């Protein structure tokens, strides 16, 4: 028997600018996402308000993400994206992010599982896929994910 394989294909880049979070408590930070875009050959979209990221900081320092984005495709179609994710945090990464440094994707385990919802006929195919996001870069007020469709 051969080893199991999970096939994916690159779907899009999701990038955004994020201001400093509102720190509600030591275990909850809320990022107001003001600017984000999707870019790929199949879809281009921009972020609308309200959009944000609710980060639960676990006892071990890891971040659990709860992101909700309202996007508008270039033809005006609304697309809702919801994803959970995890950033494995350690004191070194926390210090670097605190100094405003940008982390490359290979420096941190930062993954997400986006789901899409739209009533658009053109983009309705998004409703029927499972996707995985892998961070390309994070920090300094910016985030860039590569999002892959699981085949």
- For the chain (151 residues), the mean pLDDT of every run of 10, in chain order, is 93 93 96 94 96 96 97 98 96 90 93 98 97 95 96 96
User: Which pLDDT score is estimated for 114?
Assistant: 97
Token pair in block for residue 3: 């080893």
Extents of the domains making up the chain: 8-150
User: Which pLDDT score is estimated for 20?
Assistant: 87
CA distances from 148 to 7, 14, 65, 103 (A): 10, 11, 18, 20
The answer to whether domain 8-150 has CATH 3.40.50.360 is: no
* Closest to 134 in 3D by CA, of 148, 150, 149: 148
- How far, in whole angstroms, is CA 70 from its chain's centroid? 13
- Number of residues that this document lists for the chain: 151
User: Which pLDDT score is estimated for 147?
Assistant: 98
């Amino acid at each position: 028997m051969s080893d199991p394989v999970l096939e994916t294909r690159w779907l899009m880049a999701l990038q955004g600018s994020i201001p400093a979070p509102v720190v509600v408590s030591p275990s909850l930070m809320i990022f107001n996402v003001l600017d984000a875009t999707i870019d790929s050959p199949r879809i281009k979209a921009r972020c609308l308000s309200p959009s944000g990221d609710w980060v639960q900081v676990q006892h071990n320092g890891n971040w659990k993400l709860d992101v909700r984005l309202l996007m508008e495709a270039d033809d005006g179609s609304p697309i809702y994206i919801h994803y959970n994710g995890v950033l494995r945090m350690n004191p070194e990464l926390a210090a670097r992010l605190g100094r405003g440094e940008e982390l490359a994707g290979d420096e941190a385990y930062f993954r997400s599982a986006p789901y899409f919802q739209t009533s658009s006929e053109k983009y309705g195919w998004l409703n029927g896929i499972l996707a995985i996001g892998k961070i390309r870069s994070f920090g300094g007020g910016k985030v860039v994910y590569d999002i892959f469709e699981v085949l």
